[in-house]
Chains A and B, each alone.
Chain A
Amino acid sequence: MNGWTVAATATLAAGVGTAAWGVATGPLRRRVVAQNLSTSLACPALLLLSEGYDRPSYVDLALLLALLGPVGTLVFARLLAEELAADPPHAWGLTYAVAGFGAAVVIAVCVAAGPSRALVKLLVVGTLLIGGNLTASRALSGGFAGSRRG
Chain B
Amino acid sequence: MDDPLIVVALLLVAASATAAVAVRDPARQALVLAVLGTVLAVLFTVLQAPDVALSQLAVGSALTPLLIMLSVRKVRRPQRKKEAER
Contact = CB atoms under 8 A, between A and B. Distances in A.
Interface centre among B5, B31, B70 (most CB of A within 10 A): B31
Interface in A61-88: 61, 64-65, 68-69, 71-72, 75-76, 79-80
Interface string B8-20: 1100100110010
B39 A61 contact: no
Contacts of B57: 61, 64-65, 68
A49 B46 contact: yes
A19 B58 contact: no
Interface residues of B, number: 39
A57 interface: yes
Contacts of B66: 75
A42 B19 contact: no
B21 to A, nearest CB: 10
B42 A46 contact: yes
A58 B35 contact: no
B35 A68 contact: no
A55 B53 CA distance: 15
A1 interface: yes
Contacts of B16: 20, 23-24
Contacts of A19: 35
Contacts, number: 114
B27 A80 contact: yes
Interface residues on A, range: 35 or more
B28 A28 contact: yes
B65 to A, nearest CB: 5
Given A42-B39, A49-B46, A61-B50, A8 B5 contact: yes
B45 A61 contact: yes
Given A12-B5, A79-B27, 15 more contacts: A1-B5, A17-B8, A20-B12, A23-B16, A24-B22, A35-B31, A35-B35, A42-B38, A49-B45, A49-B46, A65-B41, A75-B66, A76-B65, A80-B69, A149-B77
Interface of B: 3-5, 8-9, 12, 15-16, 19, 22-23, 27-28, 30-32, 34-35, 38-39, 41-42, 45-46, 48, 50, 53-54, 57-58, 61-62, 65-66, 69-70, 72-73, 77
